[in-house]
């Protein structure tokens, strides 16, 4: 797995047109999220500041994506919404991967009853349906962006933990680890010097594939009314569009952009992650 050199990696990656396309889309959305305050005046998000605007206006020169039931610009909501989706997606993934990696490394390395106990816990979390658990947690904890991040990470770490543990178990049996031990290396040294570098590529690939799942979960929770009420997000836009009756009014401009944004970002991360996984895991390359 580590046999892939950096040059080789870049060459393979550049050849994968779908992955490059995914990367380009991601850069575009990242720029939009970062530059949101420059692109759009955040007054456009406030219902009070939009009092003079026409409500339910279809797309025109004044409002590129029309306005919603309160006269707010849908385009402005779209631009600002990307921030929450990307932020939650990335933060939740970082925590997911952190929890999963710690559990995986500890279980794989400690072995015996620690391994058995941690894997039992992992199995429990794997079987409990993810969304109902997230809903219950979010309902109990209350609405807020950090609560959403916590809920997503605490419900999605098990698959990473399993993956990392399996990898640790194979690395652990390698000769160079035995050699390091024979030379008197401490557990911590072995983990840091030999195990982590070998597990890292796999963690990276699994992280890229965890982002789209986190984003989809955030959107769903926001749609169910469990998102942060103070911040514009794509899921919240869709919820408001639905509640305000955009569908029966035929106001497609209200609910189409946010959904397309989600699809684009999720698809881009998936394409990117699959390419990464394929390059790093030779077994998948022939597919």
Among 140, 182, 183, 188, binds other proteins (CB under 8 A): 140
Among 15, 17, 120, 192, binds other proteins (CB under 8 A): 120
Tokens linked to 106: 């500890």
Q: Does 266 bind other proteins (CB under 8 A)?
A: yes
Q: How far, rounded to the nearest angstrom, does the alpha carbon of residue 48 sit from its chain's CA centroid?
A: 33
Give min distance, CB of 273 to other proteins, in A: 11
Q: Does 247 bind other proteins (CB under 8 A)?
A: yes
Q: Does 103 bind other proteins (CB under 8 A)?
A: no
Q: Does 116 bind other proteins (CB under 8 A)?
A: no
Q: Does 248 bind other proteins (CB under 8 A)?
A: yes
Tokens linked to 122: 């992992």
Q: Does 135 bind other proteins (CB under 8 A)?
A: yes
| Cβ-contact 85, 219 below 8 angstroms | yes
Among 90, 141, 166, 185, binds other proteins (CB under 8 A): 141
Tokens linked to 140: 């109990």
Nearest one of 137, 134, 156, 131 to 206, comparing CA atoms: 156
Q: Does 127 bind other proteins (CB under 8 A)?
A: yes
Among 26, 118, 205, 226, binds other proteins (CB under 8 A): 226
Give min distance, CB of 158 to other proteins, in A: 12
Q: DSSP states of 21-63 as a string?
A: HHHHHHHHHHHHHHTHHHHS-GGGG-TTTTTTSPTTPPS-SSS
Size of the site for other proteins (CB under 8 A): 42
| Cβ-contact 265, 212 below 8 angstroms | yes
Give min distance, CB of 80 to other proteins, in A: 19
Helices (H), the chain: 6-15, 17-34, 36-39, 74-110, 112-127, 130-141, 145-156, 158-172, 175-182, 187-190, 196-223, 234-243, 246-249, 252-280, 282-285
Give min distance, CB of 205 to other proteins, in A: 16
State which residue, 35 or 128, has the beta carbon closest to other proteins: 128
Q: What is the distance between the alpha carbons of residues 83 and 89, in angstroms, rounded to a whole number?
A: 10
| Cβ-contact 237, 246 below 8 angstroms | no
From 1-9, 85-93, 167-175, 217-225, give the range in contact with other proteins by CB under 8 A: 217-225
Q: Does 270 bind other proteins (CB under 8 A)?
A: yes
User: What is the contact surface with other proteins in residues (CB under 8 A)?
Assistant: 120, 123-124, 127-133, 135-137, 139-141, 212, 216, 219-220, 223-226, 238, 241-242, 247-248, 250, 252, 255-256, 258-259, 262-263, 266-267, 270-271, 287
């Amino acid at each position: 797995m580590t046999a892939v050199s950096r040059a080789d990696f870049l060459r393979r990656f550049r050849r994968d047109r779908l992955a490059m396309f995914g990367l380009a889309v991601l850069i575009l959305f990242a720029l939009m999220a970062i530059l949101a305050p420059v692109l759009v005046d955040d007054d456009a998000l406030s219902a009070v500041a939009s009092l003079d605007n026409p409500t339910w206006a279809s797309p025109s020169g004044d409002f590129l994506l029309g306005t919603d039931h309160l006269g707010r610009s849908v385009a402005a909501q779209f631009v600002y919404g990307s921030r929450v989706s990307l932020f939650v997606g990335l933060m939740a993934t970082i925590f997911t991967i952190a929890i999963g990696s710690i559990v995986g490394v500890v279980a794989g390395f400690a072995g015996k009853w620690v391994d058995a106990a941690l894997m039992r816990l992992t199995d429990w979390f794997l079987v409990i349906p993810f969304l109902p658990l997230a809903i219950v947690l979010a309902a109990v904890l209350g609405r807020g962006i950090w609560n959403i991040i916590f809920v997503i990470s605490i419900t999605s770490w098990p698959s990473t933990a399993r993956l990392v543990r399996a990898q640790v178990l194979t690395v652990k049996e390698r000769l160079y680890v035995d050699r390091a031990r024979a030379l008197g290396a401490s557990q911590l040294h072995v983990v840091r010097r030999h195990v982590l570098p070998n597990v890292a590529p796999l963690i990276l690939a699994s992280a890229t594939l965890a982002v789209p799942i986190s984003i989809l979960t955030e959107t769903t929770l926001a749609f169910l009314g469990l998102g942060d009420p103070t911040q514009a997000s794509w899921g919240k836009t869709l919820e408001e569009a639905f509640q305000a009756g955009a569908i029966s009014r035929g106001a497609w401009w209200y609910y189409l952009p946010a959904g397309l944004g989600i699809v684009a970002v999720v698809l881009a991360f998936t394409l990117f992650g699959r390419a990464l996984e394929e390059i790093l895991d030779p077994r998948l390359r022939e597919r």
